[in-house]
Amino acid sequence: MTHFDADAMHRLAKLALDAGEVTTPDAALALFLQYRLRIHLGVGWANTLAGQACVVTAVSTASRALLGGVEVTGDLTPVMQVPLFAGQRAADVVAALGGAVTAAPTPRLPSLMIGDGPPPEGVALTLRPSWDGWCAQIAPADSADHLTVGDDNPLAGVCAGALAVSEVFSHVRGDSPEAGYRRIGLSLWNPLAIEDWHAPENRGPALAYLPTDLWLIGLGHLGQAYAWGLAMLPYPAQRRPRLVLQDVDRVTESNLSTCLLVGADDVTARKTRVMARRLEAIGFDIDLVDRRFGAQHRLQPGEPTVALFGVDNVAARRDLDTAAFALVVEAGLGSGYRDFRNLRLHTLPGPRPATELWPAQAASQPSTALNTAYQQLAQDSGDLCGVTMLASKAVATPFVGAFAAGLVLAELVRPLHGGGVHASLDCALRSLTHRLGEPTPANARCAFIALP
């Protein structure tokens, strides 16, 4: 009998099993080992924090999604300034994030061109991410429609990097004929702007205030993406945020394919401890809560009253009504092979309480149906239980989480600059122009610091 460990399967490669393209986990991994990317760093990519955030987000998410490898060429001499990697050489950071620095890249790879200069030669397709203020976009590198940096906002860089990797993934998978040949983008200042998202009024103001004193509930795919985004923002070295990190889980092998702040050496360690170590090393003030979030959660005096919620659990979401937070921003991601690039964001309190947004009956878990590939796998292995557990796991990838984190953090930062918030916001990376949302008057604001 072959026993399947559902917590060891690569969570994006799993989509090939779910879609019936392959019949074994090994075949799914072999398929994803064919997907590769080149990232070329041009002139001036490191001149802004947004540019640096774009590069590290692209390298980290691509290396976890495109298993054939991420080759990095170009200017790797700058010293990083984004807080998470401040003081480190770009070449060292790229290598630590899974990129392969090379002077002899493989021909005909799809590529990203980040920074100025001509696109690299000998590539199959080249996309250029760009950013300006609160706006992020990707477009073919030979297009004239690129954003020129006015104001520096790292959240736009995070979104641009994540969106670029998503587009390359669609291209290599062949699931969208337009992927790689279109201009797409959005404004974090006004995410519901569709045709005019790049208009001057949607590029937003310069960053002057940043949130502090936050509670991060759930430290998996989304929770680590939230922390990743926070660690890109230009907090003064001596005034980094206070964060309460809450989770009960330990790092599993499958987390390596979805979570941005864990590595192979962290497997079996508590997620709270791993993240605390990374964030305290760069000056964040960290408190830990090693218990599940639920109906008994009550804030104590002096604790942060603003929460970023990243728990994929309906029952836990329903308990947000009684937790007494002044403000919660939460996101939910699609989990199937068709919808894993979809996301929905809520800001609470809003027009409807959590118990109405997530009715009790939604918490019931339907039985997992096995497609033909999983049925054959169960028959061949004799491990129906293990195969069923594997089939029930979500398809997930960090480029979706990173993009969602940019939108979630914008809901905190935008009101500090006089902008509005959204009771809900829906979008899909595969078809970004289809965005829906429900603006709502700004309610509770989070504690903040003013930038010098």
The reply to whether 142 and 192 lie within a common domain is yes
Provide the residue range defining the domain that includes 57.
Answer: 35-202
What whole-number distance in Å separates Cα of residue 402 and Cα of residue 53? 11
**Of the candidates 153, 161, 146, the residue with the CA atom closest to the CA atom of residue 37:** 161
Which is the catalytic residue, given 54, 385, 427, 446? 385
Say how far apart CA 320 and CA 218 lie, in whole Å: 13
CATH code for the domain of 430: 3.40.50.720
Q: Is residue 427 part of a domain?
A: yes
Residues 144 and 218 in one domain: no
Q: Look at residue 23 and tell me if it is in a domain.
A: no
Report yes or no on 110 lying in a domain: yes
- Residue 28 lies inside a defined structural domain of this protein: no
Give the separation between CA 89 and CA 417, rounded to whole angstroms: 33
Query: What's residue 366's pLDDT?
Result: 66
Which domain-ending residue is among 173, 202, 231?
202
How many other CB atoms are found less than 10 A from the CB of residue 220? Answer: 21
Among residues 170, 185, 202, the one where a domain terminates is 202
- Which pLDDT value is given to residue 446? 84
In whole angstroms, what is the distance from residue 161 CA to residue 54 CA? 4
The bridge status of strand 306-309 relative to strand 135-140 is: unpaired
- The per-residue pLDDT for 418 is 93
CA distances from 328 to 117, 305, 306, 397 (A): 42, 9, 6, 24
pLDDT recorded at residue 364: 59
Same domain, 242 and 118: no
Nearest Cα residue to 32 out of 65, 70, 81:
65
Same domain, 357 and 301: yes
Same domain, 134 and 228: no
Q: Is residue 9 one of the residues assigned to a domain?
A: no
How many domains in the chain?
A: 2
Residue 55 is assigned to a structural domain of this protein: yes
Q: 3-state DSSP call for residue 298?
A: coil
Say whether both 177 and 231 belong to one domain: no
Q: What is the pLDDT of residue 427?
A: 96
Instruction: Let me know: does 62 contact 37? Beta carbons within 8 Å.
Output: yes
Residue 168 lies in a domain: yes
Same domain, 420 and 322: yes
Same domain, 279 and 154: no
Asked which of 202, 217, 241 is the last residue of a domain, the reply is 202
Active-site annotation holds for 135: no
Per-residue pLDDT of the chain (452 residues; tens, 9 = 90+): 566 788 899 999 999 999 999 989 999 999 999 999 999 999 999 999 999 999 999 999 999 999 999 999 999 999 999 999 999 999 999 999 999 999 999 999 999 999 999 888 888 899 999 999 999 999 999 998 899 888 999 999 999 999 999 999 999 999 988 999 999 999 999 999 999 999 999 999 999 999 999 999 999 999 999 999 999 999 999 999 999 999 999 999 999 999 999 999 999 999 999 999 999 999 999 999 999 998 888 888 899 999 999 998 899 999 999 998 999 999 999 999 999 999 999 999 999 999 999 998 766 566 778 888 888 888 888 888 888 888 899 999 999 999 999 999 999 999 999 999 999 999 999 999 999 999 988 766 788 999 98
Statement to judge: residues 240 and 179 lie in one domain: no
Same domain, 188 and 293: no
186 and 311, same domain (yes or no):
no
Residue 372: predicted pLDDT:
87
Q: What tokens does 25 get?
A: 């986990």
Nearest CA-CA partner of 213 in 234, 244, 235: 244
pTM reported for the whole predicted model: 0.96
Is 321 within the bounds of a domain? yes
Q: What pLDDT sits at residue 1? A: 54
Q: In this structure, are 295 and 443 located in the same domain?
A: yes
